[in-house]
Amino acid sequence: MKIMEIEGGRELSGTIRISGAKNATVALIPAAILSDEEVTICNIPEITDTTALCDILKELKVDVKRASESIIINPRNMQNIEIKEEYSKKLRASYYFMGALLGKYKKASMYFPGGCSIGARPIDLHLKGFEALGATVTNEKNKYTVEAKELHGANIYLDIASVGATINIMLAAIKAKGTTVIDNAAKEPEIVNVATFLNNMGAKITGAGTSTIKIVGVDYLHQCFHEVIPDRIEAGTYLIIGSLCGNPLKIDNIIPEHIESLTSKLEEMGVDLEIGRDYIIVSNYGKKRPTNIKTAVYPGFPTDLQQPFTVLQTQCSGKSKTTETIWENRFMHIPYLRDLGADITVKNQTATIIGPTPLKGTNVVATDLRAGAAMVSAALVANGKTTITNVEHILRGYENIVEKLSNVGAKITLKEI
């Protein structure tokens, strides 16, 4: 088991370079198997979710080479083997193999995916989409088999603008006969990045980034070179950390437009920001005003930044509110923030935070990936030592977090116990 120890209360200054987006990478790697030739993807983050997906590729006899930040995937000799539970349960995004295998072989067989316990996380919209394309779905003891004689284009309306369902249906529809239209599609930048990758391979996708995506099926997908976009959630996390203890902190290699919902909230709070073309400089100067947030689908305030943002709200002068609308169980960080000294109450899906409260180091748990990011943010601003357990969750999504924070002056260590 790994633990993280942080001596908080230090000012952080310097530059943090943002890595490739986790939520794009975890879709791009399964998407790569749709190619009939070798593909190269660069700016791949070195996180455990990437390793878990490469392990699945190897199980499917796909040739995978990793070099620095790139990955070369050659699916020429791959086999459509059932994905075992020990692989699928390591991460949520293993379910993208369902759409990709269905698209390529007209059959996919795998166990229910794992991932953070932040809500029920059903996959009914994914399965309904596959059925609309002509597949039948069977579910037996947690194992899903999705198959079709032939996939055909369809008009699909998503009841919820789900990121996962949008991408998975796109993957399944790429080689279907005819045209598929996904309405009420999710609009997240990661979806645009995946669609661009597929188009680079020869797919015909238009409308990614809007609520209507059109996919005209093709027979063959060829080699290509693709780059993962910068991780807007990692960037947002370090911006929040910079707002707590930056003196100043430059968050580099980002697309500022992707995090406008966060930067406008930071500006509303009175946080000092200098927004450049591909960087933001942030400092913790002066008092912060209380601010309310409500999570929403992109371009709304991202649910994945809600947990670290709560930490910032504890340092504002007055009453702030956070309402979570996407996941039913995303306040698991609150009891640990209270242990650190925060004044927070939760009623239904809204947390009320009274600040500013000084935070004091103690023992806390990273209950899920972004709750872990909240614990790191809180520990950095807290006085004294904080020990975080279950840090495996954090390492699933934040590349080199210990090195990145140490390089700007944090006292942070990762220990194996």
Q: What is the dihedral of CA 138, 139, 141, 143, to 10 degrees?
A: 90
How many C-beta atoms lie closer than 10 Å to residue 220's C-beta? 10
Among the candidate windows 1-9, 61-69, 163-171, 282-290, which touches ligand UD1 by CB under 6 A? 163-171
The correct pick among 261, 263, 303, 313 for binding ligand UD1 (CB under 6 A) is 303
Q: How far is the CB of 334 from ligand UD1 (least distance, A)?
A: 17
Site for ligand UD1 in 85-124 (CB under 6 A): 92-93, 119-124
Q: How far is the CB of 259 from ligand UD1 (least distance, A)?
A: 13
The reply to whether 410 sits near ligand UD1 by the rule CB under 6 A is no
Q: At what angle do helices 163-173 and 96-105 cross, to 10 degrees?
A: 10
- The sign of the torsion formed by the CA atoms of 238, 397, 44, 213 equals negative
Q: How far is the CB of 78 from ligand UD1 (least distance, A)?
A: 22
Site for ligand UD1 in 312-341 (CB under 6 A): 326-327
Q: What is the dihedral of CA 247, 252, 258, 260, to 10 degrees?
A: 20
Catalytic residue among 42, 54, 116, 245: 116
The reply to whether 126 sits near ligand UD1 by the rule CB under 6 A is yes
Among the candidate windows 52-60, 79-87, 162-170, 398-406, which touches ligand UD1 by CB under 6 A? 162-170
The reply to whether 180 sits near ligand UD1 by the rule CB under 6 A is no
The reply to whether 269 sits near ligand UD1 by the rule CB under 6 A is no
Closest to 111 (Cα-Cα) out of 90, 125, 130, 129: 90
The correct pick among 12, 19, 20, 23 for binding ligand UD1 (CB under 6 A) is 23
Determine whether 224 is an active site residue.
no
Shortest Cβ contact with ligand UD1: which residue? 164
Go through 15-44 and write b for each residue having 16 or more CB atoms within 10 A of its CB, e for each that does not: ebbbbbbbbbbbbbbbbbbbbbebbbbebb
Contact between 72 and 38 (Cβ < 8 Å): yes
Partners of 12 in the β-ladder: 246
Which residue lies nearer to ligand UD1 by CB, 164 or 230?
Answer: 164
Q: How far is the CB of 115 from ligand UD1 (least distance, A)?
A: 7
- What distance in Å separates the CA atoms of residue 283 and residue 414, rounded to the nearest whole number? 26
Token pair for 143: 């194992």
Contact between 170 and 183 (Cβ < 8 Å): no
What distance separates the 2 farthest-apart alpha carbons in the chain? 64
- Binding-site size for ligand UD1 (CB under 6 A) equals 22
Site for ligand UD1 in 345-404 (CB under 6 A): none
64's enclosing H/E stretch is strand 63-67
Binding mask 141-160 for ligand UD1 (x = CB under 6 A): -------------------x
Which residue lies nearer to ligand UD1 by CB, 81 or 160?
Answer: 160
Q: How far is the CB of 64 from ligand UD1 (least distance, A)?
A: 20
Q: Peptide bond preceding 299: is omega within 30 degrees of 0, i.e. cis?
A: yes
347's enclosing H/E stretch is strand 343-347
One-letter amino acid at 186 equals: A
The reply to whether 163 sits near ligand UD1 by the rule CB under 6 A is yes
Q: Which residues form the catalytic set?
A: 116
Query: What does the binding site for ligand UD1 look like in residue numbers (CB under 6 A)?
Result: 23, 26, 92-93, 119-126, 160, 162-165, 186, 303-304, 326-327
